[in-house]
């Protein structure tokens, strides 16, 4: 069976590599020649645990190919998976232009019957449109169908999440399409939930937005904990034993970021409004998250006369640990505010520096200055304030005495609840975290 994959971002590349690992002949298509060259050499354009090893193994086995020539990849494929981006538009809706481009390319090149599978997260009803669009532009007399197959991978654990997914969701409108997708996923040995196309599209949003809601709910409760003298980590621990609630995604913090939750909450809110419905729960989740991201900055602002001329240590820039991705990271909102307020920021992140430099180049920015350090110690030395935005293990390991001894004034705002308030206090560190 020949599989083609359109797009080599987190979704497309990981899917392609995992299909090759399961024995399929896979060709991944991307528009960027340079990126394709690197992937042919087994170099991954994204930092993802275990991905390069599998790329190299399957490149060498001759089952994994990369090309910019989509004609070659699509024309005789049995199944084409679409994994291109659906970025957020200014109004919160999903931008479907990449999906449309790929759909048209597929229509104009396929020479045999083919199943087109949409993996990208798309608003409910998009698969119907994709199928119609492809049929409208078909050049050869072939049968084509579109199926929905949303993915649930998280960055940092994408390969594991794909090979050992909790379930595979397939949304089809015909027995043939359902049978083919089930066959493709057979070697994975995972539970398959087979539904209609629109339900599959909705499952993806419903899952992501539910998890986002869970986080915003915990952040809301955490803020209330601060006011009433309760400790959110204890509260979460107490909640976690109830299986109906579940033990995961109960961590209060600086708010969620990344390529999915912020975009998918806004997209569902938009979709509901388009249908004349107000999704109040999701709208509240978006509002809570927006405020949460700068909560610590606001607290620090209340404490300080000025940030101007102060050395501000920033530990962690990525939206979570285990990735080099900064999309929608709370650090971005905070850096903008700190730099505008005249702070001299010294930031450390083990993986995110390169991408951060594209957003905040080193040197004078707005009123303050942006600086990057290659160690936590250099960021902390002589600092007046420290903000913690990402839960990297090496950041977690900093001892209270480390803050006390290195900083000019040991004042720490921790957006990830990494340290013990008691131990920080005992070491003489003025410490603020979330909900404790």
Interface contacts to ligand UDX, rule CB under 6 A: 152-155, 208, 211, 215, 249-251, 253, 256-258, 260-261, 319-320
CA distance 412 to 398: 12
Q: Which is nearer to ligand UDX, 78 or 161 (CB)?
A: 161
Cβ 169 to ligand UDX shortest distance, Å? 11
Q: Which of 18, 28, 114, 260 is catalytic?
A: 260
User: In 30-82, where do the E strands start and end?
Assistant: 64-67, 79-82
| Conformation bin of residue 47: beta by default, left when phi > 0, alpha when psi is -120 to 50 | beta
Containing H/E element for 312? strand 311-315
Q: Which is nearer to ligand UDX, 203 or 345 (CB)?
A: 203
| Number of neighbouring beta carbons within 10 Å of residue 277 | 9
Task: Clarify whether 285 is annotated catalytic.
Answer: no
Nearer to ligand UDX, 241 or 277 (CB): 241
Q: For ligand UDX, which is the closer residue by CB, 58 or 417? A: 417
Distances (CA, A) of 429 to 83, 225, 343, 346, 382: 47, 21, 21, 19, 14
Rounded to 10 deg, the angle between the 295-303 and 330-340 helix axes is 30
Question: Which SS3 state, helix, strand or coil, does residue 368 take?
Answer: strand
Residues ≥6 apart with Cβ < 8 Å to 411: 303, 384, 385, 386, 429, 430
Query: Nearer to ligand UDX by C-beta: 74 or 205?
Result: 205
CA atoms within 13 A on the CB side of 428: 10
In the complex, the smallest distance separating the C-beta of residue 323 from ligand UDX, rounded to whole angstroms, is 7
In order of 140, 173, 268, 398, the CA distances from 420 in angstroms are 66, 53, 38, 11
- Nearest approach, Cβ of 48 to ligand UDX (angstroms)? 10
Q: How far is the CB of 261 from ligand UDX (least distance, A)?
A: 5
User: Please, what is the minimum distance in Å from the beta carbon of residue 337 to ligand UDX?
Assistant: 18
Q: Shortest gap between Cβ of 260 and ligand UDX (angstroms)?
A: 3
Residue (153 or 279) nearer to ligand UDX, CB: 153
Residue found under tokens 């050395």: 311
Catalytic residues: 260
């Amino acid at each position: 069976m020949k599989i083609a994959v359109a797009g080599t971002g987190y979704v497309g590349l990981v899917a392609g590599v995992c299909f090759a690992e399961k024995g399929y002949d896979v060709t991944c298509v991307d528009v960027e020649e340079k990126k394709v060259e690197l992937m042919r050499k087994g170099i991954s354009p994204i930092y993802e645990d275990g991905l390069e090893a599998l790329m190299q193994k399957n490149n060498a086995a001759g089952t994994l190919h990369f090309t910019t020539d989509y004609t070659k990849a699509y024309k005789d494929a049995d199944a084409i998976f679409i994994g291109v981006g659906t970025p957020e538009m200014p109004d919160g809706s999903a931008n479907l232009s990449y999906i449309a481009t790929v759909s048209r390319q597929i229509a104009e090149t396929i020479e045999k019957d083919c199943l087109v599978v949409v993996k990208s997260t798309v608003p409910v009803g998009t698969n119907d449109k994709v199928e119609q669009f492809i049929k409208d532009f078909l050049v050869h007399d072939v049968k084509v169908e579109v199926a929905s197959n949303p993915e649930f991978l998280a960055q940092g654990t994408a390969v594991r999440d794909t090979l050992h997914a909790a379930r595979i969701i397939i949304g089809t409108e015909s027995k043939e399409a359902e049978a083919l997708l089930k066959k493709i996923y057979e070697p994975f040995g995972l539970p398959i939930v087979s539904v209609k196309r629109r339900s599959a599209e909705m499952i993806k949003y419903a899952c992501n937005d539910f998890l986002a809601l869970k986080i915003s709910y915990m952040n809301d409760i955490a803020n209330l904990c601060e006011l009433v003298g309760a400790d959110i980590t204890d509260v979460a621990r107490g909640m976690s034993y109830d299986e109906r609630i579940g033990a995961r995604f109960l961590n209060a913090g600086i708010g969620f970021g990344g390529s999915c939750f912020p975009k998918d909450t806004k997209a569902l809110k938009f979709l509901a409004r388009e249908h004349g419905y107000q999704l109040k729960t999701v709208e509240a989740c978006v509002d809570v998250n927006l405020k949460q991201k700068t909560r610590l900055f606001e607290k620090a602002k209340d404490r300080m006369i000025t940030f101007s001329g102060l050395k501000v240590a920033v530990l962690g820039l990525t939206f979570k640990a285990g990735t080099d991705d900064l999309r929608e990271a709370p650090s971005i909102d905070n850096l903008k505010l700190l730099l505008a307020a005249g702070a001299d920021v010294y930031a450390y992140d083990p993986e995110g520096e390169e991408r951060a430099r594209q957003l905040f180049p080193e040197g004078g920015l707005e009123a303050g200055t942006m600086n990057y350090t290659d160690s936590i110690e250099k960021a902390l030395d002589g600092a007046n304030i420290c903000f913690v935005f990402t839960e990297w293990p090496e950041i977690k390991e900093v001892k209270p005495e480390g803050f006390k001894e290195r900083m000019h004034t040991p004042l720490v705002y921790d957006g990830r609840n990494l340290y013990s308030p008691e131990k920080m206090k005992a070491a003489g560190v003025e410490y603020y975290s979330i909900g404790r």
